[in-house]
Structure 1
């Protein structure tokens, strides 16, 4: 059995993360008579798997739903459906972020190359127009 600090070090996470995983039901811990958390050696791999699932964008409630399939070694149809659903959600998020990036690129281009169409100050009668028109007449 390993103490919390040993698992944290070997799995590359903080002890705080391990306590959070326990709170979420992701990583059970036994307790010594003095109340210290102890884990089996297999906890290191479980923590690394949990980290991979978090990195894949899965929330803890989804990870909790997937762990029984991991524990049994059988990819239940419900687990596979959940994984596909999460992948589709992430793909939709990526598409939305790409649309936002494209719009931001258009705004940047407008800021760097203002035109009367996009900038009211450059339209006839606007302060910037008046200033540039007066400079043109003086030249």
Structure 2
């Protein structure tokens, strides 16, 4: 499929796909006219790349992870890096939960003040 179709099907911009190629995350074949062509499997690969980016992984980490995803190849070093990334994500989740809980407290106070016709507490 051509780059525009992949972008549409994967829900990303053409620019993002070009960036993924620059980073070594995605590979295309070129036609004689220089147009990029991707296999059907590229859609799932782009979804995975987006999920890993959303989890906070850097391009370099994702590149290193791909052989493991594609064919099960893993080294002890890669396993250690993946475990460290998972720990980092767990820490981030904890921070987000604390922020959500604090926001819930502020919302409760603001709603109570609004119900009583008072200004929001500071």
TM-score, normalising length: structure 1: 0.63
Q: Quickly say closer, same or farther: Cα 1:113–1:18, change in 2 above 3 A.
A: closer
Shift of 1:28: 0.8
User: Which structure ranks higher in relative contact order (CA pairs < 8 Å, sequence separation ≥ 6)?
Assistant: 2
Shift of 1:77: 3.1
Mapped partners of 2:58, 2:51: distance in 1? 11
Mapped partners of 1:49, 1:16: distance in 2? 17
Which residue is 2:77 aligned to?
Answer: 78
Is 2:50 the counterpart of 1:51? yes
Which residue is 1:39 aligned to?
Answer: 38
Across the aligned residues of Structure 1 and Structure 2, the Cα RMSD in angstroms comes to 2.7
Aligned length: 111
Which residue is 1:11 aligned to?
Answer: 10
TM-score, normalising length: structure 2: 0.71
Q: Quickly say closer, same or farther: Cα 1:33–1:100, change in 2 above 3 A.
A: same
Mapped partners of 1:10, 1:79: distance in 2? 31
Consecutive unaligned residues in structure 1, runs of 5 or more: 106-111, 115-139
SS in 1 for 2:34: coil
Mapped partners of 2:44, 2:100: distance in 1? 37
Which residue is 1:129 aligned to?
Answer: none
Greater Rg, structure 1 or structure 2? 1
Which residue is 1:61 aligned to?
Answer: 60
